[in-house]
Structure 1
């Protein structure tokens, strides 16, 4: 299902300062090691994760470590369903990590010779909303898998008319869009006359032995292994978990072990072949000066630790936060699945504590330039901004003054601290997102949330007490 707060994957607060850097602050990694993951990862996790789970009300945290292209650790801390200890093979909804997994399946079709990355998909499918737009005839699979098809919103319902729109020439500009992956899914289903989920079972999951991965719903006998969803206070969401249809952009169900099988197969370069795997891992499109897009994966091409590049994708929906991060040159990786709104507050701390130069890596992943300086603002302004806001998604976002910062929260929103860059603009420390507070035309306090391209991705109006 589409759970609207996926935009909040872009936030966290910096809760833990004990971080390994190139100087081997952890004391457990060799200076000549090319593997960015520290050697004493298990003891670090055992001391860190339970503490963070209590602090942030996240019931279950699954962590997988790959070294030398082998899964060397697969642990699930806590309870995947309150009152029940999580099994190692717990099944998580990983939200947008669905996208690179779907991409691997598309590339398998390319490897088999039945699909072409660079031919227009319009020969199989053209969305009715774009029937009068000649740019639609230029869209290729490569564009759709790199978020460069020309859609400027994640979903069409975010446009005023609720229709899909092309705002840029395909291939020219990065703009994150789940619509693009669903667009490609429909074209593939038209071409092969087969449900996408069933197709991915046969060409991707079955060959790799990924028995706990599905684009559909799990068998009822496996529901006891499903990680239910919990809010920032640790309360279970009252929702229907069953996904209605296979989605190429969201709602993949998978275990830690199965995700590792895919990463290992990709880094081995045997499943897709060396040429196509290299194509997946190389820069297809620059997002900014720090990060780029491969095929399906975001990447930091270089600059965070020796000559290593980092490929990654996060997933964020109400009650589920996940991160998959791997380093193809050293054939190592880190997988983190959680079942709470505040899970991303945990996975970033894991990156900072287990990855050499982890702070630097997070900055390169999430900022196009150096973060702004923090400014001091009057307490009266912070008081004025505090309150409950009704967002354009018809949800409530809370804003509270905490010392000299603002702390936000709400349904599907992890608690994150905002720092002032001016009297009216605030930012989370590790992510390039700007909150602007000001009075609207009716005189009510309001906010707008801007992404790195200055697009408004969320807005709201303060409710009266």
Structure 2
């Protein structure tokens, strides 16, 4: 063979090999709960397919491994009518995932000796809305955060889920005796902490920002509406159509400990890393958050669920998982983390299809 041809052939192989190695070296991998390693490119393909097949307009998702964010992606559209694209600045409803962040803040108040988990809340601040029922004097912060206060989820919803704007706050069983998911309890506790700190309830956002958001670089996350959220927030969708649904908005801009957090996956991942690596709160308080405090009994339609303080606890073949979802009808979200493995993920969607996406995502990361 001609020497010149041989030289060109060898050079071509070397260049191809170099490019191939560069691609391999630049590829990042995500470690799953069971130790599986998934390439970022494979994750990209999976997510795009899921969004298309489940009709999810926009998504923000991130994975954490050890002490860092191992993967982050924000894609799709904020609004199917305007076609404005989702990016890393796009904010989503955390909905009930707000409860975990607020519970974390409560434990910071416990660390600072502002509040005791087992002191009846009425001794800090009486609550006229329920003062007619003496049983309310038994309710503690621990009961509120573990959903055993006896309050309904919302006073304006009857047991059939029908809306009643004149609904009266009630206690439906002896506080501390059983589980019942309740946003009302979280709002009462938020009022107590605001009272103890000498601020209005909406001003708790400033306290949480100073104590949690600023140290964790959650720069744009907020429990109250503001101009940034107004500009960058994804609109909700239901069954493929624009539908703001029940969610935080400029029309309802106030602090809700149970539901009003606006954030995105990268910022919320920093919060997950704080849980995994015990930042901001003491180890004792972090462990109290994660300890099983109550149980939602199994029914014909659901299995037993265990709860810590603002967080669900579930055993699996690969260890204990901690999670919480959020669902404001047309905005849904979920996080899951495993402290032993030091892995976790969080995602936000502007659709109702959280559950299907979560099932498919968990199956994907455990089998690939």
TM over 0.5: yes
- Partner of 2:259: helix, strand, or coil? coil
Aligned residues: 321
Q: How far did residue 237 of structure 1 move?
A: 3.8
Partner of 2:361: 350
Answering whether residue 239 of structure 2 is matched by residue 232 of structure 1, we say: yes
Tell me, in whole angstroms, the C-alpha distance in 1 between the residues paired with 2:285 and 2:94: 25
Structure having greater relative contact order (Cα 8 Å, sep ≥ 6): 2
Unaligned runs of 5+ in 1: 1-28, 358-465
- Partner of 1:156: helix, strand, or coil? coil
Cα gap change, 1:38 to 1:85, in 2 (>3 Å): farther
- Residue of 193, 217, 226 corresponding to 2:225: 217
Aligned 8 A contact 1:89 1:256 in 2? no
Aligned 8 A contact 2:335 2:346 in 1? yes
- Structure 2 counterparts to residues 190-201 of structure 1, below 5 A: 190-194=195-199, 195-201=203-209
Partner of 1:134: 134
CA deviation profile, 1:213-233 (whole Å, cap 9, x unmatched):
10111324x544321111212
Q: How far did residue 81 of structure 1 move?
A: 3.4
Q: How far did residue 44 of structure 1 move?
A: 4.1
- Partner of 1:104: helix, strand, or coil? helix
The TM-score, its normalising length taken from structure 2, stands at 0.81
Answering whether residue 267 of structure 2 is matched by residue 258 of structure 1, we say: yes
CA deviation profile, 1:299-351 (whole Å, cap 9, x unmatched):
10x2x224x10111000013201001111111110101001123432233212
Cα gap change, 1:97 to 1:191, in 2 (>3 Å): same
The TM-score, its normalising length taken from structure 1, stands at 0.65
Tell me, in whole angstroms, the C-alpha distance in 2 between the residues paired with 1:318 and 1:37: 34
**Which structure has greater strand proportion?**
1
Cα gap change, 1:279 to 1:215, in 2 (>3 Å): same
Tell me, in whole angstroms, the C-alpha distance in 2 between the residues paired with 1:251 and 1:37: 34
- Partner of 2:323: helix, strand, or coil? strand
CA deviation profile, 1:42-74 (whole Å, cap 9, x unmatched):
344323222222233211111111112321101
Unaligned runs of 5+ in 2: 1-28, 159-163, 299-303
Tell me, in whole angstroms, the C-alpha distance in 1 between the residues paired with 2:184 and 2:220: 26
Provide the alpha-carbon RMSD of the alignment.
Answer: 2.4
Aligned 8 A contact 1:57 1:234 in 2? no
Q: How far did residue 257 of structure 1 move?
A: 1.4
- Partner of 2:171: helix, strand, or coil? coil
Partner of 1:166: 171
CA deviation profile, 1:427-450 (whole Å, cap 9, x unmatched):
xxxxxxxxxxxxxxxxxxxxxxxx
Partner of 2:301: none
Q: How far did residue 264 of structure 1 move?
A: 0.5
Q: How far did residue 146 of structure 1 move?
A: 0.4
CA deviation profile, 1:127-167 (whole Å, cap 9, x unmatched):
3232122211111100000000112x210012477111112
**Which structure has greater helix proportion?**
2
